[in-house]
Chain A
Amino acid sequence: MEKTDSVLNLTKPSLFGIYNSSTSDLNQENDQVEEYLDGSELHINVKDANFARSRSGLRESYTASQIGDAEKSAPGTSFFGIIGRTTLMALAALAYNEVTRNIHSTHADGRGADINAYLLRFLYLLQPSQALVDKYNLDISEAKYVAYADYAFAMILEGVALSIVVPLLDNIMPLSCTRRLLSSNPTPTKRGNLATDIVRSLIAFLGISYAIRNVAWKSSLQMALTWSLINPGLWLLLDGTINGFVASVLVAGGGSAIIYAQNFALATMDTENLVTVFLFIGSFFFCGVIIFGKLGRYLFA
């Protein structure tokens, strides 16, 4: 029989008539929207350029198609979202500073006070109006709120600085660097439960702080050395990604360099004390990046 349109219409299923195309066309059309399942999470990827551009304008329910656990629900980019993140950062930074200050204050030989002073001077660097005050020798003792605002700003800056490095590296570095090392999890990039993770990090750090405060160390150096040796373990336990390690080392190095540059007195210090001080300062930044990196991956990723 000749394959005329009418013959084809006779032999083809009725749906061919309606779609007026072969199945392959329909399949091609379907290919425009790519979907894939990752666990219980459905990702929708639309190839149509026009469509993709206008996608962000869609209603909430469209993005809500990303079904899955609540852990994915990072705060939005709305005004309140930004305010919330900043507040969270500042509070976390404040808490971190307070805790470390308390750790350092227990040093028997007074090194701790020095270290706290150095760190405080470092914070000064992040306070804009303080710089003006110093420069023009202003007296702002009356205007306390300026100092508070200044301190809050420094906290925000510090929190953001500590937490942004890891997500930044995650974006730049190859995927293999964001993967957890030595993990039998089939999807090592997929983070586990956030709440448990943060609690673990926090408690690990606090546990170390507690030990450092309450154990009768022989010298500050012994204490600093132990802490520094524990740090890589802390990283492997809590983070385990190459990015996390690189970020921690970078920030620890950078922070130490800035503090060294800031304080001329350090140049004259003897080696043992210098090592002690910088082991502590390095640890401060190293642990900071590990803990804030977790927060950062949640807030900025």
Chain B
Amino acid sequence: MLSKVTNVAASISRLAALRPIHFSIITCLLASIAYLAAVDEYIPGSFDSDQQQVLYYHPPGAADYSKWHRVEDITPFENADHYSIVPLKFHRFQTASVPEIQNTIVTSDNERLLVVPSTELQSVLEDLNEINYDGVTWKARSDYFLRRYYGYARHAFTKLRSLVQGAEAFDIGLISLAYVAMIFTIVKLFIDMKQDGANFLLAFATLVSSIFAFLFALAASTKLLNTKASLLSLTEGVPFLTAIVGFKHKISIAKMVLKAASSQSDVKTLVSGAVASHSLSIFRDYGVVFGVLLLTGLFSSGMEGLQTFCLVACLLLAFDLLLTYTFFAAILALKVEIHRARKTQEMLSMLEEEGVSSLVAATVANKASEASKSEGSGKSSTALSFKVAALGVFFLVHGIYLGSSWFHGAGDLSFAAEAQNLSYTACQYITIGKKGTVVTLLSPTIYAPFGALVIAEDVVATVISIISYAITDSFISKFLLFSFAISISSNIYLLNATRSQRHATRKLIENEISKPKISNQSNGDSKPEVVRTVVRSTSPIDNDDSLPVRPVDDCFTEMQNGRLKELTNNEVASLVVSGKLPLYALEKHLADNTRAVIVRRKAIAKLANAPILDTDSLPYAHYDYDRVFGACCENVIGYMPLPVGVAGPLIIDGVPYHIPMATTEGCLVASTMRGCKAINSGGGVNTIITQDGMTRGPCVSFPTLARAGACKLWLDSDEGQNTIKKAFNSTSRFARLQHIKTAIAGTLLFIRFKTTTGDAMGMNMISKGVEFSLKHMVEKCGWDDMITVAVSGNYCTDKKPAAINWIEGRGKSVVAEATVPDEVVRKVLKSDVDALVEVNISKNLIGSAMAGSVGGFNAQAANLVTAVYLACGQDPAQNVESSNCMTLMKKTINGDLQISVSMPSIEVGTIGGGTILEPQGSMLELLGVRGPHPDSPGSNSRRFACIVASAVLAAELSLCSALAAGHLVQSHMQLNRKGGTTAAEAPAQNGLDVARLKEGAVNCIKS
């Protein structure tokens, strides 16, 4: 039963996710209709504007105030005298005094009553439109909608006050508490959504969905069931209901969808899955509240108010549930769709800047956009804001159009003000006719002194009335309706277009890559042999040895005729061996990357006389060579599998990470693991990034030393820096030049460009900028005698040991620190804080100083850096400078160990390079830093640098403590050897200590 309900819910939301715009628009339309139906019942007088005048009749005879009585209809008194009374209210301001007007009675300071025969009313009022008196111009104000809302508000307030006065303090407390709770629930909704990266829009959509449910419930109860819950019971009950039911399920669903946006599944499966997984909890909560309300409704027979409220509340819950599965699911789907579409574009441009061929870039972008995390997508794209704006305008116009009578019904105060009474004073001024007299009491006309404010209000009111008039025009309204239909359908079309964009691009790429296959297969009927070859080439094991190999010359002729692809692999290989086909061009000629690898292996096996390549010792099958070709490697003959271990969790800045390490050195992962555990016990690693900038140091030369010196001075000046910055920054969306450092050697000038590079490691990006900047210097800045000796002048310094990286930093400069409790050092690391500090000073500081090290003040930083780099697709050669590290340890006041690593030149990127390969990318995903950061470019790579430094920290701690433990064992042994005399003084537990220390003990000589 339950699973059936879940299935139904899932399929509804699946449909909603498939057609998000349809669902949301239809829901909005229905909600507007429901609103119209309900507003009629709950805001009285908003549509009938006839009540603005009140009629009183006095029968013929002597004037007597008590004889005035109210009448509804004027028709029986056609022949009576007609008078109109218009109260004139003056909004005073300090100096102006209220004008004297003919035919008026003074009732109060600011009020006059105008009594005129009804026939003259129109002309008198027109005369009174503007009154000049005492130098002040008074202008009649009609009753604009703002004032009317003010009137409603005041009415509501007085009603509330009278209620409050009548109620007990305890009840008031309860109700206000309920309102506080409701506000808390709503605020919490926004906070919770914000926390989890869902933006304001989603929280708002949640709220709107519930409001719609409320409207539907009101409409259904009043129109379909003919029961109207009183406004009072609603204002009392709804806050309780909101606070009890809350939004937690919707928040949870939204969070789940956003989290799962990283998966590869399509949107409708994603949304329906999330919704279905919550159905049990949702049905439980809604069911219980529904049941309780129903029960109360049934039990409280005879109590009309309670019953109708229960009914409305039940309907509200039912509609809310329904809308969760339709409207809310549709909004969620829209959100994910838009996000994915945006991601693809960003990723593509970044990859292309990194120099990855556009085809590969497109593939990667497609993949990544599906796998991308959607957290923190606070910035809404223009497309999104357009859609929201369109929806907003839709609602606005809809509201104005449908509720336009609010603007036209002038002077409708029947709701806002209490019913008017005929005043005694006014009656005295009215003569009673022979056939009686009818007095029409009109709503007051308000006068305000003419000023800027009044003009502004007039203008606004005129504009609005013109707009609303235009909208009600029969032609324009139809036109608007029509254009909305077009807008909606084009929106749907656009959504489908973006949705299929990724799909289409992928299809395109597949076509591009598999073109030969398709064309071959289409011709396959006539050439069965060819088909066999093609099929075989994609199969992992290539065994077409059985096929006869034609002579090389025949094959060459075939190749000349453009039928190279139809040859067998062995035949192509023989062509390569005989030098007829270059080794590097196989991919291009065969148009099949995997087949090119197979052929190349065969060829190399012959050329290098290495039959091992004919076996599977070096694997080649099941690998995505399309990503490699043109981006990662040339002359590919296979791939090198490396074992990947994982160490962790390691808590870095409060977040646990599992660190992948590709290594063939035993003990490395296990020892890092030990370090992680010790560090976690102390609360984890804290990291800071002190700078982030990739460098490139070209070498330029000048004919004379004077020119070289002048150029150096210019580059060091503000003007030079700014000029170059401008030129450099124009070359890339992501690279931003931070600083230029110069050094001179003879007539050679070395310029070290330092730039941020987004989430890419950035060498490609920066090289482009450097080349352009140098060209700019020669052409535009007057350094036309400058010759670029090398774009990379080793002043960068890339992949070579150099003090400049250690001193100035390169890439990310990270410091990671952790405090390990004394207890943990002894029990987990089997060591001792003092011994550790001593080993660190002697080995990592003094030892490295003795060896004349630059940046090598550590035990094994390179081990970790390289292992993580290999696992995560970083450039392994950059371990040279990335491993620059100084490990420091000290004893804190509490006797605990504080350990830190300072690594000034970690060069990493989370996009481009080896990270575009799926295995490497997946390891970055394991760390949650794959691809470009959606909001702040560079955040992912900086995070990754912190992870590398933290892993180094763990490994340093582990290795040093192992060394320190050995040191301790030896000193204890020495103590014992000193013999009998000291044995008595030596604490008896010495033996115990030695035993403990031996556990983790070691031979430190071997290091």
Determine the chain A residues whose CB is within 8 A of the CB of B664 once the complex forms.
13
Residue of B nearest to A201 (CB): B244
Contact B821 A62 (CB under 8 A): yes
- The 8 A CB mask of B225-263 against A (1 = contact, 0 = none) is 000000000001100110110101000000000000000
CB-based contact B823/A210 at 8 Å: no
On chain B, the residues within 8 Å of A9 by CB distance are 1006
**Cβ of B484 under 8 Å from chain A:** no
Q: How far is the CA of A177 from the CA of B667 in the complex (A)?
A: 44
The interface residues of chain A lying within 8 Å CB-to-CB of B962 are 18-19
Name A97-133 residues within 8 Å CB distance of B: 102
The answer to whether the Cβ of B395 comes within 8 Å of any Cβ in the partner chain is no
Residue contact B667 to A16, C-beta cutoff 8 Å: yes
Interface residues of B in 650-703 (CB under 8 A from A): 651, 654-656, 664-668, 670-671, 673-674, 677, 680-684
Is residue B37 contacting chain A, with contact meaning CB distance below 8 A?
Answer: no
**B residues in contact with A236, CB < 8 Å:** 284, 288
A15 touches B665 (CB 8 A): yes
CB of B733 closer than 8 Å to a CB of A: no
Complex: A229 Cα to B305 Cα, angstroms: 20
* Assembled-state Cα–Cα distance A26/B828 (Å): 11
Give CA–CA (A176, B177) in the complex, Å.
Answer: 35
Q: A19-B1002, A46-B827 are in contact. Are A62 and B681 (CB under 8 A)?
A: yes
- Complex CA gap A29/B296 in Å reads 63
How distant is the Cα of A13 from the Cα of B285 in the complex, in angstroms?
60
**Nearest CB of A to B526, in Å:** 58
Q: Within the complex, what minimum Cβ distance (angstroms) separates B679 from chain A?
A: 9
Tell me whether A77 is interfacial, beta carbon within 8 Å: no
Give the contacts of A222-255 with B (CB-CB under 8 A). Answer: 222, 225-226, 229-230, 233-234, 236-237, 240
Asked whether any CB of chain A lies closer than 8 Å to the CB of B181, the reply is yes
Question: Please, which residues of chain B bring their CB within 8 A of the CB of A173?
Answer: none
Question: Do B178 and A215 touch across chains, with their CB atoms under 8 A apart?
Answer: no
The segment from A85-93, A192-200, A274-282 found at the interface with B is A192-200
A44, B860: Cα distance in complex, Å:
27
Cα A273 to Cα B216 in complex, Å, equals: 43
Interface residues of A in 159-215 (CB under 8 A from B): 181-185, 192-193, 195-196, 199-200, 202-204, 206-207, 209-211, 213-215
Chain A nearest CB: distance from B835 CB in Å?
15
Q: Which of A50, A58, A67, A218 contacts B684 (CB 8 A)?
A: A67
**Contact indicator B181/A199 (Cβ below 8 Å):** yes
Contact (A26, B674) CB under 8 Å given A42-B651, A65-B680: yes
Asked if residues B651 and A18 are in contact (CB atoms below 8 Å), the reply is no
Identify which of residues 16-64 in chain A touch chain B, using a CB-to-CB cut-off of 8 Å: 16-20, 22-23, 26-27, 29-30, 32-33, 35, 37, 40, 42, 44, 46, 48, 50-51, 54-55, 57-59, 61-62, 64
Given the known A-B contacts A16-B667, A61-B682, are A215 and B295 also in contact in the complex, defined by CB atoms under 8 Å? no
Q: How far is the CA of A182 from the CA of B283 in the complex (A)?
A: 9
Contact A65 B683 (CB under 8 A): yes
By a CB distance below 8 angstroms, the chain A residues around B963 are 18
A14 interface residue, CB < 8 Å from B?
A: yes
- Chain B residues, CB < 8 A from A62: 681-683, 821, 823-824
CB of B254 to closest CB in A, whole Å: 15
Please judge, given known A-B contacts A61-B682, A182-B280, whether A20 and B1002 are in contact too, CB under 8 Å. Answer: yes
B184 within 8 A of A: yes
A72 CB-CB contact with B under 8 Å: no
Q: Are B827 and A51 in contact (CB-based, < 8 A)?
A: yes
Residues of B within 8 A of A19 (CB): 667, 671, 962, 1002
Contact mask B978-1007 → A, CB, 8 Å, 1/0? Answer: 000000000000000000000111111011
Is B292 engaged at the interface, CB distance under 8 Å to the other chain?
Answer: yes
Check A210–B236 contact: CB distance below 8 A.
yes
In the complex, whether B300 has a CB less than 8 A from a CB of chain A is yes
**Do A215 and B668 form a contact, CB below 8 Å, given A20-B1003, A203-B240, A229-B299?**
no
| Majority secondary structure, B binding face | helix
Q: Kindly state whether residue B72 has any CB partner on chain A within 8 Å.
A: no
Report chain A residues within 8 Å CB of B177: 202-203, 206
Interface check B306, CB cutoff 8 A? yes
Q: Which residues of B contact A13 (CB under 8 A)?
A: 664-668
Contact indicator B285/A65 (Cβ below 8 Å)? no
Interface residues on A, range: 35 or more
For B671, give its contact among A15, A195, A225, A226 (CB under 8 Å).
A15
Known: A182-B281, A203-B240. Is A210-B174 also a contact (CB below 8 A)? yes
Q: Considering the complex, give the chain A residue whose CB is closest to the CB of B963.
A: A18
A36 to chain B, nearest CB (A): 9
Query: Do B184 and A199 touch across chains, with their CB atoms under 8 A apart?
Result: yes
Report the nearest B residue to A235, measured CB to CB.
B288
Q: What are the interface flags for B285-308 relative to A under an 8 Å C-beta threshold, 1 for contact and 0 otherwise?
A: 100110110011001101101100
Q: List the B side residues contacting A237 at CB < 8 Å.
A: 244, 284-285, 288-289, 292
Residue A216 at the B interface, CB < 8 A? yes
Asked if A14 contacts B665 (CB within 8 A), the reply is yes
Q: Bound complex: CA of A187 vs CA of B999, how far in Å?
A: 39
Task: Say if the beta carbon of B171 comes within 8 Å of chain A.
Answer: yes
Does B384 have its Cβ within 8 Å of any Cβ on chain A?
A: no
A204-B244, A226-B295 as given contacts; A184 in contact with B278, CB under 8 Å: yes
Residues of B within 8 A of A35 (CB): 649, 677, 680
B93 at interface by CB-CB < 8 Å: no
B277 CB within 8 Å of chain A: yes
Partner of A192, one of B248, B299, B683, B999: B248
Check if B296 sits within 8 Å of A211, measured CB to CB: yes
Given A61-B682, A233-B292, A237-B288; A42-B667 close (CB under 8 Å): no
Contact call A203/B244, Cβ cutoff below 8 A: yes
Q: Is residue B798 contacting chain A, with contact meaning CB distance below 8 A? A: no
Output the least CB separation between B686 and chain A (Å).
11
Residues in B76-114 with C-beta less than 8 Å from chain A: none
B687 to nearest A CB, angstroms?
15
A218 and B302 contact, CB distance less than 8 A:
yes
Q: Pick the contact of B823: A40, A51, A202, A222 (CB < 8 A).
A: A51
B677, A30: Cβ atoms closer than 8 Å: yes
Q: Is B915's beta carbon under 8 Å from chain A?
A: no
Does B188 belong to the interface (CB within 8 Å)? yes
Shortest CB-to-CB span from A271 to chain B, Å, is 20
| B296 closest partner in A (C-beta) | A226
Tell me the bound Cα distance from A253 to B144 in angstroms: 64
User: Does B123 sit at the interface, judged by CB under 8 A?
Assistant: no
CB contact between A215 and one of B185, B305, B649, B681 (< 8 Å): that residue: B305
A61 with B819: in contact, given A102-B170, A199-B181 (CB under 8 Å)?
Answer: yes
Contact call B677/A67, Cβ cutoff below 8 A: no
Is B175 at the interface (CB under 8 A from chain A)? yes
Distance between A98 CB and nearest chain B CB, rounded to angstroms: 9
Chain B residues, Cβ within 8 Å of A30: 670, 673-674, 677
CA–CA, A57 and B178, complex, Å:
45
Instruction: Supply 7 further A-B pairs (C-beta < 8 A) apart from A217-B300, A225-B299.
Output: A18-B1004, A35-B677, A61-B819, A184-B280, A210-B178, A229-B299, A230-B292
5 contacts between A and B (CB under 8 A): A13-B667, A202-B181, A204-B243, A210-B178, A226-B295
